Amino acid sequence: MHIARRLTAGLAFACLAVATSFAQQAPPAPPAAQLPKVLLLGTGGTISNRAGGRLTVDELIKSIPNLDRLVRAEGEQFANVSSGEITLDQWLDLSRRINDRYKKDGELAGVVVTSGTDTLEELAYFLHLTVRDSRPVVVVGSMRNPSTLGYEGAANLEDAFRVAADPASRDMGVLVVLNDEINSAREATKTDARLLNTFTSRDYGVLGTVLDRVAYSRKPVKRHTAASEFDVTKITSLPRVDVILSYQGAPGDLIQAAVDAGAKGIVVAGAGAGAMSGSQSQAASYAVSKGAFVVTTTRTGGGTVGGGGTGRGGPTGRASGDDLQPVKARILLMLALATTSDSNEVRRMFREY
């Protein structure tokens, strides 16, 4: 019994010594004033959609253990809905809000925006073209909701805060951060309806990773953010632009109907390198004759489209979407048409952005 007590006491003392050693070795939390300030703007999405009600930005911030050792986090609830419910007017308001915060707050190191993943790549690319500051905007979401086993939202959020706070993220444009990976808003696309590793940059590869540290391996080369010419303070609304899919025997009347309904631009998600059906080609000519602009892209998910003209002096009212996904070509065309009616200028924008 005496030996047992001595062993128990010795074990307790050893555990206390180890705990004390770890406590002594653990670095103290840096003073809050020295930490980078990061703003979280919540728009909703699966990352907030728990059973019984949506998480607020304050609740999302509290869900991240020891976040106060990494950043000075501020939260602002912009919206709290599914991504499909966000309107184009809200896109404009959100971009204006981020630009305004950056203009007024020199201490702000970065901004994180939560979004539903269904249209996350669209919102991210819009901000990539309209937030005119070199400081980063990180768009983040989750594939599982907070009431689901394996919810990854808090981990994605922590990664997003780390990326937004890192000085290396400056001049990288808007970034999409999920699953420990950093993708450019221009290239990121959702590739699977359910898997956690759904967002990729196709053959381009990720910009970097968020593991033991934020590590970048390449930079975006197209114009964006601080170098962008798109000024949302001068845009009151975005023109209607529709995306039409091409397929075997596709009728052209859908293009014609869209133009007759008020579309100022048409993005054709063409087969292969942008091929349309015969009736679609005729309808595209009709669209141009009515003053609409037609951009040709590919439905394949990769590769470039050269048809439709990219250079100065190309066909009036037409341009190629280069390597942009159809939904992103739509965003660029909306902004282009809100800025100019010159075909050469629109083609220039598709080359540069």
- pLDDT (tens digit, 9 = 90+) per residue, 229-268? 999 999 999 999 999 999 999 999 999 999 999 999 999 9
Tell whether the model's pLDDT for residue 40 goes beyond 50. Answer: yes
Selection from 268, 186, 256, 234 nearest residue 340 by Cα: 234
Note whether 186 and 43 are same-domain residues. yes
Q: Is the pLDDT of residue 12 over 70?
A: no
- Asked if the model's pLDDT at residue 33 lies above 80, the reply is no
Catalytic-role residue among 43, 46, 225, 297: 46
Residues 178 and 305 in one domain: no
Please indicate whether residue 191 is annotated as part of the active site. Answer: no
Residue 126 has pLDDT above 70, yes or no: yes
Model pTM score? 0.90
Containing H/E element for 330?
helix 326-339
Same domain? 198 vs 149: yes
Q: Which of 336, 344, 275 is nearest to 310 (CA)?
A: 344
Task: Among 227, 257, 283, identify where a domain stops.
Answer: 227
Q: What is the pLDDT of residue 283?
A: 98
Domain boundary at 187, 205, 227, which?
227
Q: Is residue 40 within 8 Å of residue 72, measured between CB atoms? A: no
pLDDT of the residue at 349:
98
Domain CATH for 323: 3.40.50.40
- The tokens of 346 are what? 């629109």
Residue 134 makes CB contacts below 8 A (sequence gap 6+) with: 170, 171, 225, 226
State how many domains the chain has.
2
Measured over the CA atoms of residue 295, residue 300, residue 302 and residue 304, the dihedral's sign is: negative
- Write down the pLDDT at residue 314: 74
Better pLDDT: 221 or 9: 221
199 and 53 within one domain: yes
Q: For residue 307, what pLDDT band results from cuts at 50, 70 and 90?
A: low
Whether 24 is covered by a domain: the verdict is no
Residue 121 has pLDDT above 80, yes or no: yes
| pLDDT tens for each residue of 170-183 | 999 999 999 999 99
Residue 22 pLDDT greater than 70, yes or no: no
Answer yes or no: do 283 and 145 share one domain: no
DSSP 222: S
State residue 23's pLDDT score.
Answer: 40
How do residues 91-111 score in pLDDT, each as one tens digit?
A: 999 999 999 999 999 999 999
What would the mean pLDDT of 178-201 be, rounded to a whole number?
97
User: Does the residue 6 lie in any domain?
Assistant: no
318-353 pLDDT, tens digit per residue, is 999 999 999 999 999 999 999 999 999 999 999 999
Cβ-contact 131, 79 below 8 angstroms = no
pLDDT at 166 over 90: yes
If you average pLDDT over every residue of the chain, what do you get? 92
Tell me the pLDDT band of 310, cut-offs 50, 70 and 90: low
Tell me whether residue 18 is in a domain: no
Q: What are phi and psi of 38, to 5 degrees?
A: -130, 130
